[in-house]
Amino acid sequence: MTRSVTGLSDVDHAIINRALVAATHEMGTKLIRSAHSPIVREAQDCSAAIVNRHGEVIAQSDLIAIQLGSIAQTLAPCMELFPPDTLKDGDFFINNDPYNGGQHIPDIFLFSPVFFEGELIGFSASVVHHIDLGGGAPGMNPDAGDVHQEGLIFPPTKYNMQHDWNGGPLERFIAANVRMPDATIGDLNAQFAANAIGAKRLSALAAKYSANALDEAMSEMLNYTERRIRVALSDLPNGLYCAEATIDDDGIGTDPVVIRTQIEIGDERIDIRFDGTDDQVPTFMNNPFASTVASAVACVKSVLTDPDIPFNDGVARVIKVDAPLGSILNPRPPAPVRARLLPSNRVFNAVMKALAQIAPGDVIAEGFDTTTSICLSHLGEAGYNIYLEILGGGYGAGINNDGCDGVDCPLSNCANIPIEALEMDYPFARIEAYRLRPGSGGDGKHRGGLGLERSYRILTDGVQFATYSDRFRTSADGLFGGGPGASAEFVIARGDEEIRLRSKTRVVLQPEDLLIIRTGGGGGYGAPAERS
Amino acid sequence: MRVGVEVGGTFTDLVVIRDGVVEIAKVPSTPHQPDIGALNAIDAANLDLTLISDLVHGSTVATNAVLERKGGRVGMFVTTGTRDLFGLQRQDRTAIYDLHYRKPRPVVMREDICEVAERLAPDGSVVQALDEATLSLAVESFLKSGPFDAVAICLLHSYANPQHERAVAEIVKQYAPDLPVTCSCDVSPEFREYERASTTALAAYVQPVISGYLDRFVVQLQENGFDGRLSIMQSNGGRMPASGMARNAIAALFSGPAAGVVGAVGAAAQSGVANIITLDMGGTSTDVALIADGQPQLAPQTLIDGLPVRTPVIDIATVGAGGGSIAWVDDGGLLRVGPQSAGATPGPACYGRGGTAPTVTDAHLIRGTLQPKSFLGGSMEVDRDAAVAAFQVLANSLNLSIEAAADSAIRIAESNIVRAIQQVSTEQGLDPRDFVLVPFGGAGPLHAVRIAEDLDIETILVPVNAGVLSAAGLLMADYVHYRSRTERTLLNESAVASVQSILSELAKEAAAYLDEVGVSGTRRFEYIVEMRYVGQAFELSVPLEVTPEQLTFAHLFEAFRAAHHRIFEFSKPPEKPAEVVSYRVGARAEVGSFAFDSGNAVEPDAMQAPLRTIDIEEGGATIVCKIIPRQAIGTKAMGGTILVEDGTSTLYVPEGWQVRRDNPGNLLIEREG
């Protein structure tokens, strides 16, 4: 550990370290508990973090890995436009621009500068997947040809609570342009509340240890994570390792979209490139570069390090990521990006397969690893009612364990919406089954996790279904002799008719339709003959 | 004669009041048959069972049944299409970067779950009626697939209409009249099917174990002439006659920590202190709770081994920092303590039972804040050399002296506890400086002052016999029973009448339950409404300070708004609507007061006490420290550095702080000057 210039002992460092992590957990918990939309309060599609005054992420709530991976990239353009010395109390930054460090339109990042005795000591940050931000269709627009059809873009901008919120111009502007204003404003208020909590905890630490000591402790947290990642990498043989992963199609055609990775391990560093990856696509499945970085880094962290290493910008000092401009992993604007988690997941898979060559005991087989986004919407007399839920599938099996059944993909961590909560809030549908799919996990010494089935009886006229998913044709590969997981399918049972749907689509449903969603299983690990 | 017996993981503690005099006993627990330990404690205290009028018992039987998965085999009925709800759970992971993640293991096997063709809507209306003839056949054949020890029933939306669950229960009773049946509409009548089903399954799962245990215990007591009253501690901080508990076993799941909190509240009350933060440090973990106005807060939901339980539990935060917690250095060079613990076996290195890892207890022995003679009042041998050897490796890798490594490990453990206290105070919008810290358990008083310093707490109160306070808490516990109901009501002027009548009905039901299980005496009632803004999903518990008759719209709304602001740092403009989601009423029958005899009505002369001094190593300095027996602390304050020993625990009073005894016999530690 480097010597302290502010008089902090090693014990002080350890204590501040844990206090900052605890503060982000509290931010995350209170964000969820005060939020309005089921996608936040039940499914927990949100994250929170504390950032130092230099814009580096120090501590994060363990909620959604993909959101956490790009908080610093989203803040950086804000700080460039509005330097710290121009900030005052009550200011906040907003950014959801996929071409300015953001991910996809629904994820709004809010940053609140934190002052102590008039001095900037850091930022509290939160991100929420908002249920609807306008755009060409409620909740999700699978037909979008560009990012402008996907909803309101908030470029990196500074606003002020007193001036712009609580009935002010920004709040009124948002409320007028989204389909469920009460939910959206309620969820934004939950973000502001989380940021206020983070600010309070950060100030309390500055009061206790001094602003400079706190800054030193935060820098040391980055060093600490960097050290731990370097230690983890030092066990790996240097060399170049390549792999690829595939998406079924771009949503229109039938050709697979391929993601190729080349991982170079050097002395205590890792460079991840995606040369040869397919070009960007005309549909909403492009991966903003921030998402590419976040996915690759999340995979390396998951495979090589102890789960308890705090995830912060110390990671970025060791892991470098690059993807060709114009590819699906670094698209040119204004390519649409709503379903970016599909390529993100394949980035995760490709990196994992490359690492399997050198860390076979730490990796797992491919899982279903597909964000299956189910959006049902209905326009009634009281306005729009939009249901959005992310369904998981089976995890890949590991060296000592069967894959986890029915769980969200590794890059995300959305909980389900309880049947009882869903039916209370969305009277247009009833759940007739929510179960695991027997036999859907790949065979192996250890079996892949099971996919799941959720079926919705449609109860009223005019219900729209929009979705994206994958692995309808390509299933999750087994590893070291393990078998593949079952693939996914969407079916509408309408009377005696069975209508099969594409994996990325939008349709209008009829009353009495039964919409059946079946997600895939994970791949097995090791030959089935070795199963005990 | 009144007796409290608390079975813990390592020790079984007993407190007896005989002719107004208090005595204590401590014996090793017998984890495989906890009742033996309890009877051993009664033996050790030389008690004549025929003379015991009131025996209160707390144990970890229910908790262990879950942790070790040794509960009964439960057959469960659920709505068609939901049989996998324990396999699916909530679809999320508690460790997001753990690729080898496993979900918490359910207590009911998939093959023991039977789907019932029926369906209700969220408002309780019937979508698909139960066909009793078909159901009857299905139940009969399902029960044959057993044998089951208990039956659980959880049907969708039963919180809004219990009829279908009741109908299934009736049919089960026809075929198996002796099987205990638990309905989700009774255990947890609230929405979110997984959490409700988990609670119901756990209730059914522990029921046979608790009933069996209590039956056996009662028989043994009676064989030895006991004909007094036996009651059992509940997680909500109240007691229940054993007969009532045999029907509601899940209420005992967290009784151990609850008993300690009740003991701390009772001890502090004798000193006129009502706002406290409790600090119960044991072998593997520390429990902390915040009590405002002498009233422990209840949490509506908690987890056991990752499984949700929705039944009122005293709101306690637990952190893996105990005497047995292991100190280690991670691969980033950071010193960590816990959550791994050496537990009771092998235990700290100094216990000489095969443990070699450095623990917090070993650190104290090295630092000097625990003396070889202070373990169990000197009746237990410890090996300081083993503690030193255990810390040697750690000291080397941190490049510190052994003493500094030990001191650092203690500081880290204390900082972990500080964070748990912040969770129950600052995170709830409450300032720890407004509270008195009440440490107990074997190790709580050792750490209390340093923890108080970190939180700027000014006063610490150490109860008499702090090491066996949980057993004393059993004797202080009132009889308590809670009733709850979910009924969403938009809050406005015209809703007040309905709120009032629901609260009054619940109060009647709770009181009637106490009558039914034979509890007499005056009742006191607590009224709690769970509220939120329309559109939110999680409620805030708002305790009412008035009776239902006195309740007004303004009072309800303002109480909610203030609670929301306190916790979330904001509240909405008054025109934004709020709703009441559920109601909870507790009926309480008091059992009369209880006080430890301080044992020294005469003012002691500390100078008369045999004075020993030792050197301790703290914060890089060697400090001369006096060791003083508790009886020698008088009403005149003495300044640190002092170790105060009472045979059940050790109190550390560092420099800058002073200790004195107050009238009821509690020790007060305050800043000097």
- Residue B670 to chain A, least CA–CA distance (Å): 21
Listed residue (A248, A332, A246, A258) closest to A289, CA to CA: A332
Between the CA of residue B607 and those of B127, B650, B655, what are the distances in Å? 81, 20, 19
**Sequence-ordered list of residues with C-beta below 8 angstroms from that of B668, at least 6 positions apart, any chain:** B271, B459, B460, B461, B659, B660, B661, B662
Listed residue (B550, B547, B479, B490) closest to B517, CA to CA: B479
Is A440:A521 a contact under the CB 8 Å cutoff? yes
pLDDT tens digits, one per residue of B566-590: 888 888 888 889 999 889 999 999 8
Is B391:B406 a contact under the CB 8 Å cutoff? yes
Amino acid, single-letter form, for residue B654: P
Share of chain B above pLDDT 90, in %: 63
Gap between the Cα atoms of A245 and A343, Å rounded: 9
What are phi and psi for residue A63, nearest 5 degrees? -120, -75
Structure-token pair, residue A22: 């605890």
Q: Which of A176, A195, A228 is the last residue of a domain?
A: A228
> Within 13 Å and on the Cβ side, how many CA atoms surround A3?
1
Gap between the Cα atoms of A261 and A277, Å rounded: 8
Residue B598 has pLDDT above 70, yes or no: no
Gap between the Cα atoms of B449 and B396, Å rounded: 29
For chain A, give the longest Cα–Cα distance: 76
**pLDDT band, very low/low/confident/very high, at B15 (cuts 50, 70, 90):** very high
- Counted across chains A and B, CB pairs separated by less than 8 A come out at 203
Q: Which of A228, A260, A288 is the last residue of a domain?
A: A228
Amino acid, single-letter form, for residue A377: S
Query: Which pLDDT belongs to residue B168?
Result: 98
Is B388:B349 a contact under the CB 8 Å cutoff? no
Q: Select the residue of A227, A392, A420 nearest B157 (Cβ to Cβ).
A: A420
Share of chain A above pLDDT 90, in %: 85
Cα angle B601, B606, B610 (rounded to 5 degrees) comes to 115
Q: A11 vs B99: CB contact, 8 Å cut-off? A: no
Between the CA of residue A119 and those of A93, A110, A214, B453, what are the distances in Å? 18, 20, 13, 27
Listed residue (A426, A500, A421, A490) closest to A455, CA to CA: A490
- Indicate which of A8, A9, A11 best probes the interface with B, i.e. most B CBs within 10 Å of its own CB: A11
Structure-token pair, residue A353: 């397969």
Q: Which of A228, A249, A284 is the last residue of a domain?
A: A228
Mean pLDDT, chain B, integer: 90
pLDDT tens digits, one per residue of A207-261: 989 999 999 999 999 999 999 889 888 889 999 999 999 999 999 999 999 999 9
Residue A262 has pLDDT above 70, yes or no: yes
A63-67, B151-155, B352-356, B613-617 — most confident range: B151-155
A378 backbone φψ class: left, alpha, beta (φ>0; ψ -120 to 50): beta
Q: B192 vs A307: CB contact, 8 Å cut-off? A: no
Q: Which residues pair with A389 in a beta bridge?
A: A374
Structure-token pair, residue B402: 């052994």
Amino acid, single-letter form, for residue A174: I
Determine how many CB atoms are found less than 10 A away from the CB of residue A167: 9
- Residue A436 to chain B, least CA–CA distance (Å): 6
- Residue B193 to chain A, least CA–CA distance (Å): 6
Contacts of A430 in chain B (CB under 8 A): 119, 121, 127
What are the structural domains, with CATH classification, of chain B?
Answer: 67-211 (3.40.50), 259-478 (3.30.420), 480-589 (3.30.1490)
| Residue at A252 is within a domain | no
Between the CA of residue A390 and those of A40, A464, A508, B653, what are the distances in Å? 11, 17, 20, 55
Determine how many CB atoms are found less than 10 A away from the CB of residue B199: 25
Query: CB burial class (10 A; 0-12, 13-18, 19+) of residue B657?
Result: buried
| Residue at A304 is within a domain | no
Domain, as residue range, for A459: 364-532
Gap between the Cα atoms of B616 and B253, Å rounded: 40
Between the CA of residue B379 and those of A99, B373, B374, B647, B648, what are the distances in Å? 71, 8, 8, 10, 11
Q: A405 vs B87: CB contact, 8 Å cut-off? A: yes
Helix/strand/coil percentages in chain B, nearest 5: 35, 25, 35
Gap between the Cα atoms of B95 and B398, Å rounded: 29
| Residue at A289 is within a domain | no
Structure-token pair, residue A459: 């109860």
Q: A-contacting residues of B 25-84, CB under 8 Å?
A: 80-84
Query: Which pLDDT belongs to residue B607?
Result: 54
pLDDT tens digits, one per residue of B363-390: 999 999 988 877 766 677 889 999 999 9
* Helices then strands, each counted (H, E), chain A: 11, 19
Place of tokens 């990752």: B306
Gap between the Cα atoms of A74 and A101, Å rounded: 4
Gap between the Cα atoms of B626 and A153, Å rounded: 69
**pTM listed for this prediction:** 0.91
Is A531:A486 a contact under the CB 8 Å cutoff? no
Query: CB burial class (10 A; 0-12, 13-18, 19+) of residue B314?
Result: buried
Query: Which pLDDT belongs to residue A2?
Result: 45
pLDDT tens digits, one per residue of B281-295: 988 889 999 999 998
Between the CA of residue A232 and those of A237, B338, B350, B620, what are the distances in Å? 12, 22, 34, 33
pLDDT tens digits, one per residue of A49-91: 999 999 999 999 877 878 777 899 999 999 999 999 999 999 9
Is A303:B99 a contact under the CB 8 Å cutoff? yes
Structure-token pair, residue A11: 């014990």
Give yes or no for B428 touching A (CB within 8 A): no
| Residue at A98 is within a domain | yes
Chain A nearest-CA residue for B122 = A424
Give yes or no for B621 touching A (CB within 8 A): no
Its sign, for the CA torsion A59, A60, A65, A70, is negative
| Residue at A261 is within a domain | no
Structure-token pair, residue B353: 């039972």
Place of tokens 């460090």: A101
Gap between the Cα atoms of A501 and A491, Å rounded: 6
Is A81:A43 a contact under the CB 8 Å cutoff? no
pLDDT tens digits, one per residue of B82-111: 999 999 999 999 888 899 999 999 999 999
**pLDDT band, very low/low/confident/very high, at B22 (cuts 50, 70, 90):** confident
Give yes or no for B301 touching A (CB within 8 A): no
Is B667:B646 a contact under the CB 8 Å cutoff? no
- Indicate which of A420, A425, A454 best probes the interface with B, i.e. most B CBs within 10 Å of its own CB: A420
| Residue at A285 is within a domain | no
pLDDT tens digits, one per residue of B396-414: 988 899 999 999 999 999 9
Gap between the Cα atoms of B239 and B666, Å rounded: 25
| Residue at A177 is within a domain | yes
Gap between the Cα atoms of A450 and A473, Å rounded: 17
Q: A435 vs B88: CB contact, 8 Å cut-off? A: yes
Mean pLDDT of A452-462: 97
Full DSSP string of B583-628: EEEEEEE---------S--SPP-GGGS--EEEEEEETTEEEEEEEE
Listed in order, strand segments (DSSP E) in A323-460 are 372-380, 383-391, 429-436, 452-458
Q: B99 vs A398: CB contact, 8 Å cut-off? A: yes
Structure-token pair, residue B588: 């309480």
Cite the DSSP H helix spans in A153-271.
161-164, 169-177, 181-209, 211-233
**Sequence-ordered list of residues with C-beta below 8 angstroms from that of B643, at least 6 positions apart, any chain:** B369, B371, B374, B614, B625, B626, B627, B628, B650, B651, B652, B653
Contacts of B430 in chain A (CB under 8 A): none
**pLDDT band, very low/low/confident/very high, at A1 (cuts 50, 70, 90):** very low
- B402-424 helix and A10-34 helix, angle to the nearest 10 degrees: 20
Is A270:A233 a contact under the CB 8 Å cutoff? yes
Place of tokens 């040809």: A145
Query: Which pLDDT belongs to residue B377?
Result: 65
Q: B99 vs A44: CB contact, 8 Å cut-off? A: no
What spatial distance separates the first Cα and last Cα of chain A, rounded to whole Å?
46
User: Beta strand B302-304 with B307-309: parallel, antiparallel or unpaired?
Assistant: antiparallel
- Indicate which of B80, B86, B92, B532 best probes the interface with A, i.e. most A CBs within 10 Å of its own CB: B92
Query: Which pLDDT belongs to residue B606?
Result: 54
How many separate domains does chain A show?
A: 2
Contacts of A186 in chain B (CB under 8 A): 533, 535-536
Listed in order, strand segments (DSSP E) in B313-435 are 313-314, 317-319, 325-329, 335-341
Is B94:A25 a contact under the CB 8 Å cutoff? no
**pLDDT band, very low/low/confident/very high, at B594 (cuts 50, 70, 90):** low
Is A106:A180 a contact under the CB 8 Å cutoff? no
A517-526, B402-411, B629-638 — most confident range: A517-526
| Residue at A183 is within a domain | yes
Amino acid, single-letter form, for residue B385: D
Place of tokens 């595939």: A246
What are phi and psi for residue A286, nearest 5 degrees? -85, 150
Cite the DSSP H helix spans in B176-281.
184-187, 193-223, 242-245, 255-270
**Sequence-ordered list of residues with C-beta below 8 angstroms from that of A211, at least 6 positions apart, any chain:** A116, A117, A119, A121
Place of tokens 């002010």: A168
Residue B241 has pLDDT above 60, yes or no: yes
pLDDT tens digits, one per residue of A376-400: 999 999 899 999 999 999 999 999 9
